[in-house]
Amino acid sequence: MNEEKNYIEGLLGGIRTLCVGLKTSMREFFTKKITEQYPENRNELQMFERFRGSLTMPHNENNEHKCIACGLCQMACPNGSINVVSEMVETEDGKKKKQLVRYEYNLGCCMFCQLCTRACAHGAISFDQSFENAVFDRAKLVKVLNQPGSKVVEKKVVKKPEPAAAPAAEAKA
């Protein structure tokens, strides 16, 4: 008697789970499909806003970028996919300044974690929407992001006026 009860309970439990599965299948059968015809619609295909495609270094119309070669992005990268090559140059006013020579980015070992863009204090690098990165040669995945002849955007330095207290001190003397 007990074995028959267990058999019937097992059979009813199986039928109940079968009905749950059929309900899910039928619900998905009648929902609207949103299939993308990928190769044909490349021009109008847009990825979602937070998509991380490939690392880029935006340049303006004067071929200027914001990278100051501080190396924070290179230090923040957990697997070494960024290599910043810089050199020290002397400016016309006699100060030494670090200058970007080469910014290499290895797309093949990038995890797209976005730690590099968060570490960049100047907003010099960002991820774009490109997603077609398939190549036959891995060497083509190493990209140089700074364009030939590019330079850093010059920030205008505003000099503070001398304090007015100095002439008053001379008048007392």
- Gyration radius (Cα) of the chain, Å: 30
Mean pLDDT over the full length of the chain: 86
Q: Any residues with CB less than 8 A from the CB of 76 and at least 6 apart, and which?
A: 115, 116, 118, 119
Tokens for 41, please give them: 């619609």
Tokens for 161, please give them: 């006026």
Question: pLDDT of 10-68, one tens digit each?
Answer: 999 999 999 999 999 999 999 998 877 888 888 888 788 889 999 999 999 988 899 99
In the chain the domains, ranked by start, together with CATH numbers, are 55-152 (3.30.70.3270)
Is residue 149 left, alpha or beta, with left meaning phi > 0 and alpha meaning psi from -120 to 50?
left
Question: pLDDT of 1-10, one tens digit each?
Answer: 788 889 999 9
* pTM for the whole structure: 0.66
Residue 94 binned pLDDT confidence (cut-offs 50, 70, 90): confident
CA distance 92 to 107: 37
Strand pairing report for 55-56 and 126-127: antiparallel
Cα of 162 vs its chain's centroid, Å: 43
